[in-house]
Amino acid sequence: MKDLKNITLEISLKPFKSTESSYIKKVCETAVSQWLPLIRHAEMVSVMFWAADGSEILDYKGRPEDEFEWAKYIGGAVRLLDWDRETDPEGIGLHTTNYLYMDEPPVMTYAILKEIVSTFKAVAAEMTGKPVRAGATFDPGPEFAKSEFKYERHPEICVGESMGRKSMVCSYALLNADDKHYAGFPDGIPQDTPMGTFLGRQAQIFMDDLGFDYLWLSNGFGFGTETWGIKGAIFDGEAFYPEKIPETQDRILDFWKLFRKECSYRVETRGTNLSLGIDMATDAVDIKGIYEGGFDILPPPNSPWAAIDGDFGLELSGYMSRIAKLPDDGDFLFRFYVHDPWWMNSPWIDRYEGRPHDIYLPLSIARIDKDGKIGLPTNLNFLTIDDSLGRMPERCPNEVIPHILRGFEEAPDKVSPVVWAYPFDEYNTLGAGDPAKIFFEDWFMRGAINSGFPVSTVVAADHFAELTGKGSDIFCGSVVVTPVPFAGSVMNEAVRSFVFSGGNAILYGSLADADPGLLRLIGLKKGSALTGRVRVVQSESIIDTLRDGEFDQEAVYSDLLTSGGVCMIPDDGNNDGANLRVLAWTDGPERRALFTETEVTGGKAGKVFWIRGSDYSRMPDGGKGFPLAALMRSALALDGLKIAFEKENSSTPDPVIMLHRNKNALIFSGYSPDTTTAVKLATPFGMPLLMGYETRPDMGMSVYTPERAWRAECRVMVEQEDDTVISCREIAPVSYRMHRRIEVKGLKNAVVRILPNSGSDVISTDLKLNSEHPHAVGEEIRYSTKETQWGMMIETEPVTGTLVISDRVFC
């Protein structure tokens, strides 16, 4: 794998159960040694200390001998959530009562912390031979350590309510005056001192004195008021207030400006649990302004909350939205949740069950920069290398590291079959006038990914428009997905040009205020809007099947959470010569389109699909609603890439699937929350055969029932009518000239299409039909090669029996 710029080991102070120098050194040696097999792939190593909750910075007086309150608890250090006596009658839950992680935890002083920091840096430098950094942390909440500063002395800075009333510090809050002595404010805090000024000055002195090299801002600090929930300064759960956006944006940017006047150290960020569009719509977070402000920050990574709530759609859509554009250097971070040092869980062991889905899914994601180049994570963090009891079990690095290495080794090297053109700039500018639109669109994409939509490459919408406008063909093999563009934005013409040049596009969201040219392209016009509950009628729409029951046929529309009602009808007399098919619509006398397919007749006859979407998670009776998000996969199926599910009933959650390309292969990565669900696959080139699996074809689809977490390479696709079992597996090459062999068994009059390995050491691909070891001779087989949208492909004439495919590496 290509070396990463940095690997960060996050650690609490719990492993340092004694503060004797020899003990401190031993802990540092153990930590570094466990992760050495991975660290050797990095240019630099960092250690990030979860010492407390950031109050050790706020309270710092510049005296090494001072003790500080540190994160020595299991459970919430400060209880601000209401005690639920029904579910926890004795009050023993970790959100009700906290516990010391050991009897008589050591006392921590700033001098001891400085020794721990300097020892870790020295040990890591000696053991790795690499540059080493140390990071300090600031968290806005009450979880990790008791804080007199936040909750007794200065509760006015706590505005967010994610962990109870007035529980989270707001980055742009103002401090009331006090006369306490602080390192940066020896005479006390003046009235209305901005949080950015105070934290910046304190952090600069704290890190100068203790030997830190950068600061991590945790849990969304610097990115709004409510960094976990969807409510915020702009959205109260009942209404959006776009008039508040300009002032709130200015306050957020002022924090960064004021902080930077006081603190010169590098800043790395956690960000929120949400996406760029949702953050903008609910909390006026101007990520574009933050990225372009010259604040020397590393953008937020993927949220770790998918481990807790299983919402991988939100994790992955949020991750892609943040990396569509980046600060100048183009670096971004992948973060993996190994242990939680506070809440008595170790995600790798318990939440993930030792399965690597939250490694392979996000590591399937790539971005396309303004020059059309693939961008991958340059930095890697592990939260954390110690658990809630201060242990560092060897099981975790031993099991996690191989998956990390495989994830990077098989990272995307080409644009994926499905690309998200994300309106990064537009959401931060035009979206300020319509927060309901951008909230709904990001929320709908979250639902689509949770329903198995395999989008794994992201490009900023304006970069897509510019690249295609210059004649770039990098997206020609991909279906491009984008929300309905704002009227007047460059994406309207870009989508039109892409489709008329033969490309296929999927648009989602409301067309009520769409550009007139876009409506002509699709062949729709605006009618009166229907709101409330509607019944969905569909033809050729749902490609999934249920073993029990039927899909709900109702959807709900409102001005608040679905960006208005549903209003589009066919416009037969005013289109661009398009062939329109309405594939899902509302029942009743006033039919409204919900899902359409339009094949243009000019140019090279591409297609544009449109899906209105709905917030089916909020059915009044608690039902699931019609699965409009799953229609994103239906659109792909109409384009030839079919991913369908056979599941128990409508309440069974769908698998999450990513699909990318590596060395000319297709790489499927999946998370199956219910392992009874069957995954059915087809491509424009036949049934994909996954390496290491058997399949019994069903109506032209290969069928698999994968385990909880899965990743599979696909180099072989087959067309055959017989439904007998086909297998695809790797076999021992036992050859000097052939260094990899794939065996495909069960072929019956089958056309086989092969994606040959494009690795630099592969000279050619050898095919042998019905051969025996050592596979030097076989039956005659005729084949041809051709270039396709998914790379070079070998296509055989119909064959029967067993085919062995070998990589020739020597002449």
Q: Name beta bridge partners: 750.
A: 799
Tokens of 395: 């099981």
CB 339 within 8 A of CB 386: yes
Per-residue pLDDT tens for 119-140?
A: 999 999 999 999 999 999 999 9
Cis preceding linkage at 304, omega within 30: no
Range 708-729 average pLDDT? 96
CA 518 – CA 516 distance, rounded (Å)? 5
CATH of the domain at 384: 3.20.20
Q: What's the burial of 488, exposed, middle or buried (CB within 10 Å: 0-12/13-18/19+)? A: exposed
CB 733 within 8 A of CB 741: yes
26 falls within a domain: yes
Same domain, 619 and 544: yes
Segment holding 115, helix H or strand E: helix 110-128
- 620 pLDDT higher than 50: no
Looking at 384, 409, 434, which one is the last position of a domain?
409
Same domain, 367 and 446: no
Same domain, 350 and 432: no
Same domain, 232 and 168: yes
Tokens of 297: 């920050």
- Residue scoring higher pLDDT (458 or 329): 458
Same domain, 368 and 495: no
Same domain, 701 and 600: no
654 falls within a domain: no
Range 246-257 average pLDDT? 96
Looking at 409, 431, 456, which one is the last position of a domain?
409
718 falls within a domain: yes
Which residue is associated with the tokens 């921590």?
108
Tokens of 429: 């500018």
598 falls within a domain: yes
Same domain, 405 and 444: no
CA 307 – CA 569 distance, rounded (Å)? 42
Radius of gyration of the chain (CA): 28
CB 532 within 8 A of CB 544: no
436 falls within a domain: yes
Tokens of 146: 């008791």
The region of weakest confidence among 75-79, 123-127, 258-262 is 75-79
Q: How confident is the model at residue 811 (pLDDT cuts 50, 70, 90)?
A: low
- Residue scoring higher pLDDT (561 or 343): 343
Q: Which of 599, 595, 581 is nearest to 629 (CA)?
A: 595
Q: Which of 16, 120, 112, 14 is nearest to 66 (CA)?
A: 112
With the C-alpha atoms ordered 285, 289, 290, 291, is the resulting torsion angle positive or negative? positive
Q: Which of 323, 286, 326, 281 is nearest to 303 (CA)?
A: 323
Range 754-779 average pLDDT? 90
- 18 pLDDT higher than 90: yes
CA 573 – CA 577 distance, rounded (Å)? 10
Per-residue pLDDT tens for 674-698?
A: 999 999 999 999 999 999 999 999 9
Residue 83's pLDDT is: 82
With the C-alpha atoms ordered 364, 368, 374, 380, is the resulting torsion angle positive or negative? negative
Tokens of 60: 């710092």
Q: Which of 560, 589, 348 is nearest to 434 (CA)?
A: 560
CB 441 within 8 A of CB 753: no
Three-class SS state of 626: coil
Tokens of 663: 């060395």
- 143 pLDDT higher than 70: yes
Residue 99's pLDDT is: 97
Q: How confident is the model at residue 252 (pLDDT cuts 50, 70, 90)?
A: very high
CA 557 – CA 628 distance, rounded (Å)? 12
Same domain, 361 and 338: yes
- Residue scoring higher pLDDT (7 or 95): 7
Per-residue pLDDT tens for 336-354?
A: 999 999 999 999 999 999 9
Same domain, 255 and 164: yes
CA 142 – CA 55 distance, rounded (Å)? 10
Q: Which residues contact 122 (CB under 8 A, 6 or more apart)?
A: none
Q: Total domain count for the chain?
A: 3
**DSSP string spanning 241-256?**
-GGGHHHHHHHHHHHH
Residue 621's pLDDT is: 45
Other CB atoms within a 10 A radius of the CB of residue 787 amount to 8
Average pLDDT over the chain reads: 94
With the C-alpha atoms ordered 656, 2, 376, 715, is the resulting torsion angle positive or negative? negative
478 falls within a domain: yes
Long-range contacts of 785-788 (CB under 8 A, 24+ apart): 788/477, 788/685
Residue 618's pLDDT is: 46
Per-residue pLDDT tens for 573-615?
A: 767 767 899 999 999 888 999 999 999 887 788 999 999 998 7
Q: Which domain holds residue 178?
A: 6-409
CATH of the domain at 601: 3.40.50
Same domain, 344 and 426: no
Q: Which residues contact 329 (CB under 8 A, 6 or more apart)?
A: none
CA 717 – CA 700 distance, rounded (Å)? 11
Range 449-462 average pLDDT? 98
Looking at 374, 409, 444, which one is the last position of a domain?
409
Other CB atoms within a 10 A radius of the CB of residue 37 amount to 14
With the C-alpha atoms ordered 279, 283, 289, 295, is the resulting torsion angle positive or negative? negative
194 falls within a domain: yes
Where helices occur in 433-540 by DSSP H, the ranges are 435-450, 461-469, 490-500, 516-522
CA 558 – CA 549 distance, rounded (Å)? 28
CA 718 – CA 663 distance, rounded (Å)? 20
Residue 166's pLDDT is: 84
Residue 365's pLDDT is: 98
CB 495 within 8 A of CB 576: no
Same domain, 399 and 458: no
Same domain, 277 and 192: yes
Q: How confident is the model at residue 470 (pLDDT cuts 50, 70, 90)?
A: very high
Three-class SS state of 343: coil
652 falls within a domain: no
Sheet with strand 214-217: strands edge to edge: 297-298, 266-269, 214-217, 132-138, 45-50, 6-12, 379-383, 333-337
Q: What's the burial of 408, exposed, middle or buried (CB within 10 Å: 0-12/13-18/19+)? A: buried
